[in-house]
Amino acid sequence: MLTTIPDIIIAIDGYSATGKSTLAKLISKEFGFLYLDSGALYRGVTLFALEQGMIEGTDKIDLERLLPALEGLDIHFENGSQTYMGERCIEGEIRDLRVGSSVSPVAAIPQVRAYVDDRLHMFGAAGRVVMDGRDIGTTVFPDAQLKLFVTADDMVRAQRRLDEMVAKGQEATIEEVLSNLKERDYIDSHRETSPLSRAEDAFVLDNSDMTLHEEIVWVRGLIMGRFGILE
């Protein structure tokens, strides 16, 4: 493990299921950084809204009830990167397809974005943090010292997401997963407030045919080159 790397912020953005969070977790382990999963916060808000009956169908959101409720909503991370709502661990529930189907419309609400951004700034203030999402390098931390933009082939992404779900005992077909991913990509990149896009100074990583080991070797090389560190 490298101990000499400075207290930087690493921003990882990209489409759904490109393996951003897997890579971010690896980086956090490899370099001893704090990992913050911004999508988990959007998913937490979505779970809350679903449980309170504030979402009809997948995208009709009762803003009159949701917006005032944000003020008292405590979504945070504990035990590393486990997501909590108050004292309850919601890590499993936020990953299911019900939340996945409504999260993009919820994440398109400017007040929800402000809620999540506030939390990310608070948690990430000290630096030495790796964060993944859709707008970390463009909006949340535009001054992040290292920005990555991750891409992967559509079918590779769908299969990865399905494998993850199956491993957790959740059921879905590859067609359902692929159509959910594409719908989210579309909403995420076309919304008005900080849509998903690559920061000009982000390094692109297409990991369709890469192993995790190859990815981390690539990232390590990038960090060492950029910060002039010798192994």
CB of 229 to ligand DC, least distance (A): 28
Neighbouring CB atoms inside 10 A of 55's CB total 20
Cα-based distances in Å from 16 to 69, 71, 114, 153, 177: 27, 28, 21, 11, 11
Beta strands in the chain (DSSP E): 9-14, 34-37, 55-56, 60-61, 75-78, 82-85, 88-89, 129-133, 146-151, 203-206
| Binding residues for ligand DC restricted to 186-205, rule: CB under 6 A | 188
Q: Does 43 bind ligand DC (CB under 6 A)?
A: yes
The stretch near ligand DC (CB under 6 A) out of 69-77, 128-136, 164-172, 200-208 is 128-136
Question: Out of 23, 107, 158, 178, which residue is the one contacting ligand DC (CB under 6 A)?
Answer: 107
117 scored as a contact of ligand DC (CB under 6 A)? no
By CB under 6 A, which span of 39-47, 52-60, 67-75, 167-175 interacts with ligand DC? 39-47
Are the C-beta atoms of 119 and 112 separated by less than 8 Å? no
Tokens 């608070």 found at? 122
- Per the DSSP assignment, residues forming a β-bridge with 89 are 84
Whether the Cβ atoms of residue 40 and residue 83 lie closer than 8 Å to each other = yes
Q: Which stretch binds ligand DC (CB under 6 A): 75-83, 129-137, 197-205, 214-222?
A: 129-137
Applying CB under 6 A, the span of 3-11, 27-35, 131-139, 151-159 interacting with ligand DC comes to 131-139
Tell me, what amino acid is at 196? L
Residues 5-24 that bind ligand DC (CB under 6 A): 16
State which residue, 42 or 77, has the beta carbon closest to ligand DC.
Answer: 42
Residue 134 makes contact with ligand DC by CB under 6 A: yes
> To the nearest whole angstrom, how small is the minimum distance from the Cβ of residue 140 to ligand DC?
7
Site for ligand DC in 81-100 (CB under 6 A): none
Interface residue with ligand DC, options 11, 26, 103, 144 (CB under 6 A): 103
Q: Which C-beta is closer to ligand DC: that of 28 or that of 104? A: 104
| Contact status: 104 vs ligand DC (CB under 6 A) | yes
Q: Based on CB atoms, which residue is closest to ligand DC, 61 or 136?
A: 136
**Does residue 193 come out as left (phi exceeding 0), alpha (psi in the -120 to 50 range) or beta?**
beta
Contact 15, 185 (CB under 8 A): yes
Return d(Cα 19, Cα 31) in angstroms, integer: 18
Q: Enumerate binding residues for ligand DC (CB under 6 A).
A: 16, 38-39, 42-43, 103-104, 107, 133-136, 184, 188
